[in-house]
């Protein structure tokens, strides 16, 4: 049995296998041909933080696969009153076939996985957001980019999204340039892991504090909020510190002329991205959002095959 906590736990071939399955499931869904790959299975969805896309895509996805999903907000279940994660994991394992969790601390996921007898999926932690990256990569392929000719520029905070980009680039072997303001760099241990992966994959990672250097010639430009969930108290300071890191038309003009712009959403116009850049690339961004649905169905189907 496998869990899906970070992309680092998967080989390049496994990631590509899941993406290809996602593309196939998307095609079937577009033809309204919903195959009951997970008939009668139950997905428990624990949320310690808010969500639009993750909740809806997992809930709709499980329905389309012939199963059902339970939304378990931390305010409504006993973990909010102190029931240990390890007990929650064992109870849910007795009643459900998979667990998806969005958590404050990545350690909570590790603990869940340790005590769960069913697969556990990371729906976002403070360290990683792997489901988003599968959808992002699926979108990149749909827009015609290939591992060999793509370069991704990530502009903004060195956060859970950035860490997952580091994992994806270093596993698949493409070029990733990360530009953060000073003091908002990526986690050094995660960067070291990514650098090690690159020795095998041939991936290239460039770390800078200069957004222009990162974007120049890039085929994919991406960003994320400057204020992640749980950082609301730092909002004013962050807005000051991130001056010059907005992906606006000037910055985008340095990228490849056919560059794709991605945003995991929610987007804050006038901060990490300008209204003009966002709307010019809205088709790509909302394809990316839709691909959460299909990529995650593929993850659940794939994880199911691994326990049989």
Known catalytic residues? 102, 129, 132, 224, 264, 292
Cβ proximity of 111 and 101 under 8 Å:
no
Backbone angles phi, psi at 32, to 5 degrees: 60, 30
CB closer to ligand NVA, 41 vs 159: 159
Q: In this structure, are residues 171 and 201 in contact, taking their beta carbons and an 8 Å threshold? A: yes
Closest to ligand NVA by CB, 91 or 229? 229
Residue 225 interface partner, choices ligand NVA, ligand CP, none, CB cut-off 5-8 Å depending on type: ligand NVA
Among 54, 197, 219, 260, binds ligand CP (CB under 6 A): 54
Tell me which residues in 110-149 interact with ligand CP (CB under 6 A): 124, 132
Pick one of ligand NVA, ligand CP, none as the site partner of residue 228 (Cβ within 5 to 8 A by kind): ligand NVA
Cβ atoms of residues 180 and 147 within 8 Å: no
* Angle of the 53-64 helix axis to the 282-305 helix axis, nearest 10: 50
Instruction: Give the Cα separation of 15 and 29 in Å (integer).
Output: 21
The region of 25-33, 51-59, 106-114, 236-244 touching ligand CP under the rule CB under 6 A is 51-59
Is 274 one of the binding residues for ligand CP (CB under 6 A)? no
How do 204-208 and 260-263 pair as beta strands? unpaired
Piece of 52-60, 145-153, 243-251, 277-285 that binds ligand CP (CB under 6 A):
52-60
| Residues touching ligand CP, count (CB under 6 A) | 8
Contacts of 25 (CB under 8 A, 6+ apart): 35, 37, 294, 297, 298, 301
Contact 45/71 with Cβ under 8 angstroms? yes
Residue 228 CB, nearest approach to ligand NVA (Å)? 3
Report the nearest approach of ligand CP to the CB of residue 53 (Å): 4
Which residue has 């909010």 as its token pair? 80
Stretch of 49-57, 136-144, 186-194, 300-308 contacting ligand CP, by CB under 6 A: 49-57
Report if residue 264 touches ligand CP, rule: CB under 6 A.
yes
Under 8 Å between Cβ of 204 and 176 = yes
**Angle, CA of 143, 145 and 150, to the nearest 5°:** 140
| Residue with Cβ nearer ligand NVA (46 or 147) | 46
170 binds ligand CP (CB under 6 A): no
Query: What residue ranges bind ligand CP (CB under 6 A)?
Result: 51-54, 124, 132, 264-265
């Amino acid at each position: 049995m496998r869990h899906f906590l970070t992309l680092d736990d998967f080989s390049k071939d496994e990631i590509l296998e899941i993406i290809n399955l996602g593309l196939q499931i998307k095609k079937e869904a577009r033809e309204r041909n919903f195959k009951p790959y997970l008939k009668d299975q139950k997905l428990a969805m624990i949320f310690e933080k808010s969500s639009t896309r993750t909740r809806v895509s997992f809930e709709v996805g499980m329905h389309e696969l012939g199963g059902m999903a339970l939304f378990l907000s931390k305010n409504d279940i006993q973990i909010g009153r102190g029931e240990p994660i390890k007990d929650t994991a064992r109870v849910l394992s007795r009643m459900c076939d998979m667990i998806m969790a969005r958590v404050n601390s990545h350690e909570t996921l590790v603990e869940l996985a340790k005590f769960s007898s069913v697969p556990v999926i990371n729906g976002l932690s403070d360290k990683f957001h792997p489901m988003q990256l599968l959808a992002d990569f699926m979108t990149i392929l749909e827009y015609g980019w290939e591992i060999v000719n793509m370069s991704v520029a990530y502009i903004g905070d060195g956060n859970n999204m950035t860490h997952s980009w580091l994992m994806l680039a270093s596993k698949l072997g493409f070029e990733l340039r990360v530009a953060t303001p000073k003091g908002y760099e990526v986690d050094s241990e995660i960067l070291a892991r990514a650098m090690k992966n690159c020795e095998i994959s041939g991936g290239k990672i460039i770390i800078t504090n200069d957004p222009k250097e990162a974007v120049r010639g890039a085929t994919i430009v991406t960003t994320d909020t400057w204020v992640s969930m749980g950082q609301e108290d730092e909002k004013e300071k962050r807005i000051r510190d991130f001056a010059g890191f907005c992906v606006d038309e000037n910055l985008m003009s340095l990228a490849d002329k056919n560059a794709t712009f991605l945003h995991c959403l929610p987007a804050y116009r006038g901060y990490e991205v300008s209204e003009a850049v966002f709307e010019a690339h809205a088709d790509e961004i909302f394809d990316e959002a839709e691909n959460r649905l299909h990529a995650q169905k593929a993850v659940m189907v794939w994880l199911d095959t691994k326990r049989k």
